[in-house]
Amino acid sequence: MQVERSILTRAVSEALQEDIGEGDVTTCSVIPKGSMARAKVVAREDMVLCGMSFMEEAFLQVDGQILWKPTAKDGMRLTGGATIAQVEGAAAGILTAERTALNYLQRLSGVATLTRQFVDAMGKHSCKLLDTRKTTPGWRLFEKYAVACGGGTNHRMGLHDMVMIKDNHLATLGPSAAQTIPLAIQQARAAYPHLHIEVEADTLEQARYAMEAGADIILLDNMSPTQLADAVKINQGRCVLEASGGITLANVQAVAASGVDCISIGAVTHSVKAVDIALDFESLR
């Protein structure tokens, strides 16, 4: 996937306005007019890079005369010490844009890096790693792009593009899963025949009801690898099976080995740590 340039431009503009406000008072008062500078963007740890277009946009919105010279691109694996880009131009513009530019690059590279760690930890299995809706408000499109840069696959973008019948939906309909699951699938299919229908199952019994009622996808929530393997046997290829809940770097390979089609992990967006990236500055006065 890609982020449309108009969306990226608007987001960066709003982020800069949030940071700059009525002006960068430190730079305006301390840096002499006409001062020129060069800076290198440097990875300080191993990472998967993401967010280069956001960083470039931040610098150029502040000062369109800044020279942006990238030496790496989104999706690349980098080792600590690698040069990511060089910027050159008026020192004031580089200093004012610095934090907003780094915020995007560090956060999105963090998402891409953690996603790649999970993909690698899965081993040589055919299942896909999916993201979730557990994203930073306002950043969903950007974080899902970062997941893709890290080798993951995007799940639904929101409430509008897939029916997902979760435990609270079923609890609202009644206490009997044998009745509520088929009913919910039937109603959803009638209302949105063009959309895939996914059902969350906490037990193998619930999963069986969803399979028999014609769900397209079943989310197997917080099940052990043994239970997941049992679900694969029961399913016999009828539905796409998605494992979710309690999955870590330590156990994701065992989950993948169970035979499920995909694994969804909210942590790749909601619990990610920003990677360490620096802007190393030198004056060109």
Paired sense of beta strands 262-264 and 128-130, if any: parallel
Using alpha carbons, select from 85, 161, 127 the residue that is nearest to residue 244. Answer: 127
Is residue 116 flagged as an active site residue?
A: no
Neighbours of 283 (CB within 10 A): 10
Q: Tokens 């580089």 appear where?
A: 94
Task: Confirm whether 4 is a catalytic residue.
Answer: no
Q: Tell me which of 5, 10, 44, 166 is the catalytic residue.
A: 166
Active site residue 77: no
Catalytic choice (38, 40, 77, 99): 99
Catalytic residue among 40, 77, 133, 134: 134
CA-to-CA separations, 171 to 124, 131, 174, 190, 223, in angstroms, rounded: 38, 25, 5, 21, 20
CB of 252 within 8 A of CB of 117?
no
Residue 208 annotated in active site: no
**Euclidean distance between CA atoms 282 and 285, whole angstroms:** 9
Query: Which one is catalytic: 200, 208, 242, 261?
Result: 200
Q: Given the residues 57, 74, 143, 221, select the one marked as catalytic.
A: 221
Q: How far does CA 57 lie from the centroid of its chain? A: 20
Q: Which long-range contacts (CB under 8 A, 24 or more apart) does 161-164 make?
A: 161/195, 162/195, 162/196, 162/197, 162/198, 163/188, 163/192, 163/195, 163/196, 163/197, 163/198, 164/198, 164/199, 164/200, 164/219
Known catalytic residue at 221: yes
Give the residue numbers marked as catalytic.
99, 134, 166, 200, 221
